[in-house]
Structure 1
């Protein structure tokens, strides 16, 4: 069982470490919210979504997505639309204190976190294609240890991203770095959306 836990932990860490759309959004909330605790709606929503995706992958939902091509396409197109909208929203967002609109509300955090978590085809591919496939190596208690490890990685990493963003906020008194992070995050997310469009074409 220890081997299964280590396997699940390392595999999930390798998948989640690159700064994709979901991670950039969580980090951005840690930076822009007045307190890191104000970013917890986004953190918890993303972690819960990842938990659900991991459980679904292990329980075999990947098979359904593979069988129904239309479902894959619907998720893919919806993901592109949401990514473009999120990129636009982050680009327009101004750090609080310079006459901007300030950080987004908890409700918007939840909606955005849901969209970047559940309407992100790459998240589905990673979760179902990698974690789901590797879970086939285990059965019984070992399978659940593998699954638990993957879930723990998601929760830990999202909280770490928010706290890292909070650290940047504390040392960035003139908001310059936060403005730069917003622009970089928005441009990266938009670039991913463009890449997805090209893949679809």
Structure 2
């Protein structure tokens, strides 16, 4: 790569990585599935493709479209709040029932279809996902000159793929800790708190702003 190309790639990589390395609904779900070692590869591939698609749409101009139609963002926020509230309630129920803890390698794995549907909800019903990928990353990428915007897009998508692969497969390093049911109760309690907090923020964005 020459200097402008490598600079655009690195800019996209660094910006995307900085935005997605945070505790959020999607990351918490990927971490939990990684700890259970269930469908990790399809989950990582889905997250990578979804982020790459959203970033590409943002660079191609969807960020301007969303800014011009505020009701679209409101609808996403309302739907996302309801989805996260329901998932948070499920996580809280698991945390409060010691018998519901599923250790890695125990019990039947959830069907892949159900897992992907949940992941799609965390991805496409979360307005923060659109804010990060479409609006923030997409807006910066759209300012790159000519073909450099697509090197920027490649860098951003690469950061997403690297992060989710590391999160999904790296979670197994914590497996010894999560052989104890109490660790799962703590994790699900944290997940429930994060989901309820995000649901509250989204509801406020949809109806209180």
For residues 27-69 of structure 1, the C-alpha deviation after alignment (integer angstroms, 9 at most, x for no partner) is: 11112x2x36x33333222222111111110111112212222
Deviates more, 1:177-186 or 1:6-15: 177-186
TM-score scaled to structure 1, two decimals? 0.88
Task: Give the corresponding residue for 1:159.
Answer: 165
Question: Hey, what's the Cα distance between the residues in 2 that align with 1:101 and 1:70?
Answer: 43
Unaligned runs of 5+ in 2: 95-99
- TM-superposed deviation, 1:22: 1.0
Give 2:191's match in structure 1, choosing from 168, 173, 185.
185
Is structure 2 residue 114 aligned with structure 1 residue 108?
A: yes
Question: Hey, what's the Cα distance between the residues in 2 that align with 1:177 and 1:102?
Answer: 20
Task: Give the corresponding residue for 1:5.
Answer: 9
User: Does the CA contact (< 8 Å) of 2:58 and 2:142 recur in 1?
Assistant: no
TM-score scaled to structure 2, two decimals? 0.85
Is structure 2 residue 95 aligned with structure 1 residue 119?
A: no
Decide whether aligned partners of structure 1 residues 17 and 139 sit closer, same or farther in structure 2, where only a CA change above 3 A counts: same
Q: What is the aligned residue count?
A: 197
Task: Give the corresponding residue for 1:74.
Answer: 75
- TM-superposed deviation, 1:102: 5.8
Give 2:153's match in structure 1, choosing from 147, 151, 164.
147
User: Does the CA contact (< 8 Å) of 1:95 and 1:102 recur in 2?
Assistant: no
- TM-superposed deviation, 1:86: 1.7
